[in-house]
Amino acid sequence: MVARNARLVVGVDFGTLSGRAVVVRVEDGAELAAATHDYQHGVLDRTLPDGTPLGPDWALQVPADYVDVLRHAVPAALEAAWVDPAQVIGIATDFTACTMVPTTADGTPLNEVDGFASDPHAYVKLWKHHAAQPQADRINTLAAKRGEAWLGRYGGLISSEWEFAKGLQLLEESPATYAAMKHWVEAADWIVWQLCGTYVRNACTAGYKGIHQDGTYPTRDFLAELNPDFAGFVTDKLSPVSGQLGAMAGRLTAEAASWTGLPEGIVVAVGNVDAHVTAPAAQATEPGQMVAIMGTSTCHIMNGEVLRDVPGMCGVVEGGITPGLWGYEAGQSGVGDIFNWLVTNAVPSSYADEAAARDLSVHELLTERAGTQAVGEHGLVALDWHSGNRSVLVDHELSGLVLGLTLSTRPEDLYRALIEATAYGTRTIVEAFSKSGVPVREFIAAGGLVKNPLLMQIYSDVLGLPISIIRSAQGPALGSAIHAAVAAGAYPDIHAASAAMGAVDRDVYRPDPARATAYDELYAEYLLLHDHFGRGGNEVMRRLKAVRRRVHAGADQAGVGE
């Protein structure tokens, strides 16, 4: 049991389907207990709660579900930790992003306002709401045409997931709701608003998702050219950036204290993003320490001392990870998702049966069989573009490829080739940073995939770098707790708090020289294919997607069986 005089903090990580609270000791980062609460409504991607249907590519949420996490997960974690809530000196949160809440002046979500419950645009647009692609395309075309300086900070492409595209969609598809909306709020900030009663816009999401660069947003002139009614979007709907990461946003209100069981008046930290808070949890806040949060997709974040244009990065934001440094972000759209695709769609019943008989998952069985192979033995090279390519090509019209198939190709061969392809993809990112003058000095892995030792060893061999592993299994929640400790004044800054509270196992995997050399040869093959299909040598992938869309839209010729 923790000492009665130990100071504690609470970190709350809001994911896509649930929120997780963890109680952490300020002194050393010890995680005393955690609790999870599922969102009642999950992801709304077919209908609203009242049955109103949604279009394809929509993904909404209900803001009250987030508050329920505060009401249930936080008290449960406190209780499980067997601690006195009076020991808690601060709370911090992190969120998926870009996830947007339309609110009234006092922060009430529009879906809770009379008359709006049946309007999809009154709900939270979740990060993976992809129905604003036409608006994103117009933003990109116009920004390129006008030579907007900020475009380069985002690898040349603003995502349909981000604030401006989603806001423009709202305006154009539901003008009355747009007019009724006083604030267009990142959920990362909205939850902080619920905790401390103050709307504080954090530098991280404003920079990465809100096109806030060098202290300013896109101009009124630019917005008016997109749509005259959008001219006032920044001045009317967004707020200036008012919160640096690790700073205090306010103090816990009486109401939020009653939800959480925490003492009224404790420090509430500025909001943050799940991937970005993971860096201090992994003791990776120094320049050149790249953290890869590896799950269904991978997010790479790294601080740098200088501002450089890194081709294909997602974004670079001053103070985007820790104040005073340039925070770089890159990403791979599909990683674990691709392995799951193979297991679901392309592994025969004999494998499923063997896995079941041996009490293994199919992933574990394939990993075991793939692990006995030498580099190059399967004869395959794949491109990991099943979800498109975020970094470094920034092209979601790309698609996956497997080359080298023979009649003796087995599922474990494909599994290993896909793991290798994602490792090659990571190497293109590491090399892009290093070549741009932002060298990657250390590679630190976090996220669910760190549990696969074969995958980690392949990444080490392909990158030719040792790989360190975050020690915490709940990196984002611990990262939030670290931010709470800094905001509460327990440490002078994020770096100091990270050193004391974060934890990493250094160089768990080291490259094998022979395998690394063998992978250099295969990586050269990957790069040839990568550049041929990704940089204009043959735009067949783009054309096949166009054909596919035309067929789905027009059904201009029927199937043989129809």
Q: Which listed range, 48-56, 142-150, 377-385, 475-483, lies at the site for a copy of itself (CB under 8 A)?
A: 377-385
Tokens of 370: 């793939």
The reply to whether 556 sits near a copy of itself by the rule CB under 8 A is yes
Site for a copy of itself in 427-486 (CB under 8 A): 453-454, 457-458
Measured CA to CA, the distance from residue 494 to residue 322 in angstroms comes to 7
* C-beta of 178 vs 533, nearer to a copy of itself: 533
Question: Is 557 a residue that touches a copy of itself (CB under 8 A)?
Answer: yes
Strands (E), 60-159: 60-61, 88-95, 100-103, 124-125
For the window 224-243, what string marks contact with a copy of itself as x by the rule CB under 8 A? --------------------
Reference 237, options 167, 322, 177, 291; nearest CA is: 167
Q: Which is nearer to a copy of itself, 113 or 529 (CB)?
A: 529
Q: Minimum distance from CB of 23 to a copy of itself (Å)?
A: 37
Instruction: Examine residue 379 and tell whether it contacts a copy of itself (CB under 8 A).
Output: yes
| Smaller CB separation from a copy of itself, 141 or 361 | 361
| Alpha-carbon gap, residue 442 to 474, rounded angstroms | 21
353 in contact with a copy of itself (CB under 8 A): yes
Pairing of strands 100-103, 183-186: antiparallel
Q: Which is nearer to a copy of itself, 46 or 435 (CB)?
A: 46
Neighbours of 73 (CB within 10 A): 26
Q: 385 or 443, CB closer to a copy of itself? A: 385
Query: From residue 435, how far is each of 310, 311, 510 by CA, in Å?
Result: 8, 10, 23
Element (H, E) at 178: helix 175-180
Cα–Cα distance for residue pair 483/413, rounded to 1 Å: 43
The neighbouring-strand residues paired with 88 are 8
Tell me which of 380, 462, 477, 485 binds a copy of itself, using CB under 8 A. Answer: 380
Q: Is 13 left (phi over 0), alpha (psi -120 to 50) or beta?
A: beta
Least distance CB 561 / a copy of itself (angstroms): 3
Pick 5 or 350: Cβ nearer a copy of itself: 350
Closer by beta carbon to a copy of itself, 28 or else 353:
353
Q: Are 316 and 310 in contact (CB under 8 A)?
A: yes
Q: Which is nearer to a copy of itself, 305 or 353 (CB)?
A: 353
Smallest distance from a copy of itself to CB 544, Å:
5
The residue count for binding a copy of itself (CB under 8 A) is 74
Q: How far out from the chain centre does Cα 46 lie?
A: 23
321 binds a copy of itself per the rule CB under 8 A: no
Is the Cβ–Cβ distance between 98 and 162 less than 8 Å?
Answer: yes
Q: Does residue 381 bind a copy of itself (CB under 8 A)?
A: yes
Task: State the nearest-atom distance from the C-beta of 365 to a copy of itself, in Å.
Answer: 13
Q: Tell me: does residue 361 bind a copy of itself (CB under 8 A).
A: no
End-to-end CA separation in angstroms for the chain? 69
Euclidean distance between CA atoms 251 and 303, whole angstroms: 29
Q: Which residues pair with 34 in a beta bridge?
A: 22
Q: Give, to the nearest 10 degrees, the angle between helix 336-345 and helix 411-435.
A: 160
Q: Which stretch binds a copy of itself (CB under 8 A): 151-159, 252-260, 280-288, 335-343?
A: 335-343
Do the Cβ atoms of 500 and 25 come closer than 8 Å? no
- Identify the residue among 270, 275, 338, 432 touching a copy of itself (CB under 8 A): 338
Structure tokens at 216: 């300013």
Window 388 to 417, contacts with a copy of itself (CB under 8 A): 399-407, 409-411, 414
Residue 355 CA from chain centroid, whole number: 31
22, 60, 375, 444: residue in contact with a copy of itself (rule CB under 8 A): 375
- Is 357 a binder of a copy of itself (CB under 8 A)? no
The residue (of 171 and 458) whose beta carbon lies closer to a copy of itself is 458
Give the ranges where 31-132 is alpha helix by DSSP (H): 63-81
- Token pair, residue 448, equals 């669910």
At a CB cut-off of 8 Å and minimum separation 6, what does 209 contact?
97, 98, 161, 162, 163, 186
The per-residue b/e assignment along 263-295, b for 16 or more CB within 10 angstroms, e otherwise, is eeebbbbbbbbbbbbbbbbbbbbbebbbbbbbe
- Is there binding between residue 144 and a copy of itself (CB under 8 A)? no
CA torsion, ordered 127, 132, 138, 142, to nearest 10 deg:
-30
Site membership for a copy of itself, residue 365 (CB under 8 A):
no
Tell me how far, at minimum, the Cβ of 369 lies from a copy of itself, in Å.
9
Residue numbers 502-531 binding a copy of itself by CB under 8 A: 512, 514-515, 518, 521-522, 525, 528-529
Span near a copy of itself by CB under 8 A; candidates 103-111, 129-137, 266-274, 341-349: 341-349
Nearer to a copy of itself, 357 or 560 (CB): 560
Contact between 378 and a copy of itself (CB under 8 A)? yes
- Does position 352 interact with a copy of itself (CB under 8 A)? The reply is yes
Nearer to a copy of itself, 81 or 421 (CB): 421
By CB under 8 A, tell whether 532 contacts a copy of itself. yes
Nearest CB to a copy of itself, comparing residues 254 and 558: 558
